[in-house]
Structure 1
Amino acid sequence: MLKVTLVTPAGRGSRAGNRTTATRWARRLRELGCRVHLAVPEDAPSTWCPGGRPPDLLFALHAWRSHAAIRACRETFACPVVVVLTGTDVYRFQHSHPEVVLDSLVSADVLVGLHDCLEEDLPARFHPRLRVVHQSALPLPSRAAGPGERTFDVLVAGHLREEKDSLRAALAVRDLPPASRLRVVQLGGAHGLDWARAARDEMARNPRYRWLGDLPRWRVRQWMARARLMVISSRMEGGANVVSEACVAGLPVIASDIPGNRGLLGEDYPGYFPVGDTEALRACLRRAEREPAFVEQLRRHVQARAPLFTPAAEREALAGVLAACQLVS
C-alpha cells in the first residue's frame, strides 16, 4: 500500500479551497489503495511517518506556500514529489517570488494543474512534467428547490478577496431599472476586515446585493439550486472547483475571460466578459434576464463539460499522476 503525505496550507476545519481539494483528493487516493496522511507546511517531516514508515510520495498543494515542506521532503526522504499549482502560484507568486516558486517547480517530479490552459503561463521546460487533474463535483440532490419567480438570483460563491474581484457582480447590478429582477447573492468569508466592511457598505447602498458570509457546504448547494446564474469574476484562478460544481449542477456561468476559466469552460464558451469590466458584466446579466434562450445556451455548454468533473474522472487522473511518478503500472 502506497503511503502518501498530502500537504495543504489550509489547516483542519478550514473551508478554503486548498483544504477542500486536499480532503477530496485524500478520498480519491484511498480509493486507489493509498494510505494518506494530511499535513500542513509547518509540520515537521518526522510527523509524516506514523509507525516509523516514511512516505512513498509527497503531494504538495501550492508551490509557494508549501515550499518549506517540498524542500524538507527533498532533504529528508527519497520519494517523488508532486507539486500542485494554484492560481496565485502561476499568476502572482511566479512573478513576485520567482526564486521560491522556481525552486518548487525544479524540485517536483510531477506538476499538477487544475485546468487545461496552464501551459500558457508555465515555462516551456516544465511542460513535460505537467499533468491536469480536473476537480470533481457531485450532482445536486433531486429534491433541491429550484429558482423562484420573484427575483432573478445570481450567485457568487467564494471568499471575498482581491484575486476574486469579489464585488464585481454587486457593482454590475447597481442602479438598474426598477423593473429588473436581478439580485446578487454572495457566499463566502471575507479575507480581512476591509473586505467585510466593503461588503456591508455595498449592502447598505445596493438593495440588489446580499452577502451571507461563510456558509456550510450544504447551504451553498441549496443556493446553487435556487440561482439562475453563477458569476465567477476572478482576476486569477488556478481552476476553481466552483466551476466544476456549476457544470455538474447545470448552473449557467458568466465568467471573466482568464486562462483559469477558459481552461475549464472551454475556449468557445459564450459567457465570458473582460476582467474587471463592470459594464460588460452588467450587459451579460441584463441579457440573461431578458433572453431565456441565452441562459439555455449557457446551460447546454456547462452540461457538455460536466463529464470532465466526475469523481471517476478525477480518480483516473490521479492514477495517471501516480503512474507518472512510476509508483504504479
Structure 2
Amino acid sequence: MLDILIVTPAEPGSKAGNRATAERWKRLLENSGHTVSILTRYQGQAADLMIALHTWRSHEAIRQFREMNPKIPLIGVLTGTDVYSPEFRDEQATHESMASADALIGLHRKVATDIPEGFRDKVRIVLQSAEKPTQSRCPATDPFDCCVIGHLRDEKDSLRAAMAARHLPDDSRIRIVQAGKPHNPGWRTMAEQEATLNPRFHWLGEIDRTAVQSLMRSSQVMVISSRMEGGANVVSEACRGGLPIIASDIPGNRGLLGDSYSGYYPVENEKALASLLLRAERDADFLAELRNKVTELAGNFTPAAEQAALIAAIDYAFSRMGSIASP
C-alpha cells in the first residue's frame, strides 16, 4: 500500500471544485487501502506518490517534489485553467509541470487533444463521480425551473442563462434559479442587478450541499454555460440524478456527454440557449431524449468507476518509473 500526498491550492473548507476532488479522491484511495494526506503546499513531506491538482497553481509544489524525489512518481491533474485559458495562467510554469509529471490526469475524454502534443501520451482519464441521490426527483410543476450551479466567474459565463431568459416569449413558464458564490464584488453586483431587473431570474447566492441537491431535484433542466471546463462535476451529479443538461458546446462538456448529445448550444449565444430552453419546456419528446441520455451516461460517473480509473492512473505513473503500484 502507498503513502500518497494530494496537493491542492484550495484551502480546507473551500467549496472550490479542486478541494472537493481532493477530498473525494482521499476517500476513494483510502478505501483501496492507501494512506492519503491533503496539502495546500509541499514542505518536503516523504511519500510514495504525489498527486498535484492544478498543474499551474501547484507548480511550485511540483517543482519542489520533483527536485527532492526524482525517482518517486508524480501525477499532475489537468484543470480547465491548465488547458484552456493561457490568459489566466503562467503558461511556461504550466508546461514545466506537465513535463515534470510522470502521468497527467484529465477529467474529460477530449482533454488530450487540447494540450501540447508532447504531453499527450501521459494522459489518463478519470471521470469524476457523484453519489446517486437518495431521494426521488420532484414532480414537474410550474414554473419550469432551470438551475445553474457554480461560482459566478468569467470562465463559467455565469449569467448567460439569465440573459437567455430575456429572449423567451411571455407565455413561457421558464425560470432560471442560480446558486453560487460570486468570484468578486463585480459579479455580486451583476447578479443582484440581474435579479432585480429580470423577473425570470432568481439568484440564491452560495448554498450548502443539501440545498444544492434539493435544487437539482426540483429543477427540470440544468444549464452549464461555461466558456471552458476541465470536466465539471455537476455533469456527473446531474447524470446520476437523471437531470437533463443543456450545455455550451465546448470540449469539456463534449468530453463528458459525448458528441451525439442533443443539448448543446454555441458558447456565449444566449439566443440559441433560449431556443433550447424553450424546446425543453415545450417538446416533451426532446426533454425525454435528454433525460434518457444522461441516465444512460450515469454509469460512467459512479464512485467505483472513478476509483478504478484513479488506481489505473497511479499504476501507469509507477510503470513509467519502472515500478508497479499495488492497487
TM-score (normalised: structure 2): 0.95
Please state if 1:128 is matched with 2:121: yes
Residue 175 of structure 1: how far off its partner (Å): 5.3
* Percent of residue pairs bearing the same amino acid type: 49
Residue 94 of structure 1: how far off its partner (Å): 8.3
Q: Contact 1:94 / 1:102 at 8 angstroms: preserved in 2? A: no
Please state if 1:172 is matched with 2:168: no
2:294 aligns with one of 302, 310, 316: 302
Distance 1:238 1:163, change over 3 A: same
Residue 145 of structure 1: how far off its partner (Å): 5.4
Residue 98 of structure 1: how far off its partner (Å): 2.1
Structure 2: distance between partners of 1:175 and 1:131: 41
Q: Give unmatched runs, 5+ long, in structure 1.
A: 49-53
TM-score (normalised: structure 1): 0.94
Tell me the amino acid that sits aligned with residue 133 of structure 2. L
Where does residue 38 of structure 2 map in the other structure? 38
1:205 aligns with one of 183, 197, 208: 197
Q: Contact 2:132 / 2:240 at 8 angstroms: preserved in 1? A: yes
- Write the deviation string for residues 6-60 of structure 1: whole angstroms up to 9, x where unpaired: 001111000000000000000111111110010003x523xx3xxxxx1000000
Please state if 1:59 is matched with 2:51: yes
Structure 1: distance between partners of 2:317 and 2:31: 18
Q: Contact 2:177 / 2:201 at 8 angstroms: preserved in 1? A: yes
Where does residue 27 of structure 1 map in the other structure? 27
Tell me the amino acid that sits aligned with residue 139 of structure 1. K
Please state if 1:328 is matched with 2:325: yes
Please state if 1:263 is matched with 2:251: no
Alignment of 1:203-242 (within 5 A): 203-242=195-234
Tell me the amino acid that sits aligned with residue 287 of structure 1. R
Alignment of 1:57-136 (within 5 A): 57-77=49-69, 78-93=71-86, 97-136=90-129
Where does residue 321 of structure 2 map in the other structure? none
Residue 75 of structure 1: how far off its partner (Å): 1.6
Alignment of 1:247-286 (within 5 A): 247-286=239-278
Tell me the amino acid that sits aligned with residue 274 of structure 1. P
Residue 97 of structure 1: how far off its partner (Å): 2.3
Tell me the amino acid that sits aligned with residue 328 of structure 1. A
Runs of 4 or more, structure 1, over 6 Å off, are none
Q: Give unmatched runs, 5+ long, in structure 2.
A: 319-323
Tell me the amino acid that sits aligned with residue 110 of structure 1. A
Tell me the amino acid that sits aligned with residue 37 of structure 1. S
SS at match of 1:190: coil
Q: How many aligned residue pairs are there?
A: 320
Where does residue 13 of structure 2 map in the other structure? 13
CA RMSD of aligned residues (A): 1.4
- Write the deviation string for residues 248-305 of structure 1: whole angstroms up to 9, x where unpaired: 1110000000000000000100000000001000000111111111100001111111
Structure 2: distance between partners of 1:122 and 1:254: 26
Residue 128 of structure 1: how far off its partner (Å): 1.4
Structure 2: distance between partners of 1:39 and 1:306: 31
Where does residue 290 of structure 1 map in the other structure? 282
Tell me the amino acid that sits aligned with residue 30 of structure 2. R
Residue 176 of structure 1: how far off its partner (Å): 3.2
Q: Contact 2:245 / 2:290 at 8 angstroms: preserved in 1? A: yes
Alignment of 1:137-148 (within 5 A): 137-142=130-135, 144=136, 146-148=138-140
SS at match of 1:82: strand
Q: Contact 2:128 / 2:233 at 8 angstroms: preserved in 1? A: yes
Residue 124 of structure 1: how far off its partner (Å): 1.8
Where does residue 3 of structure 1 map in the other structure? 3
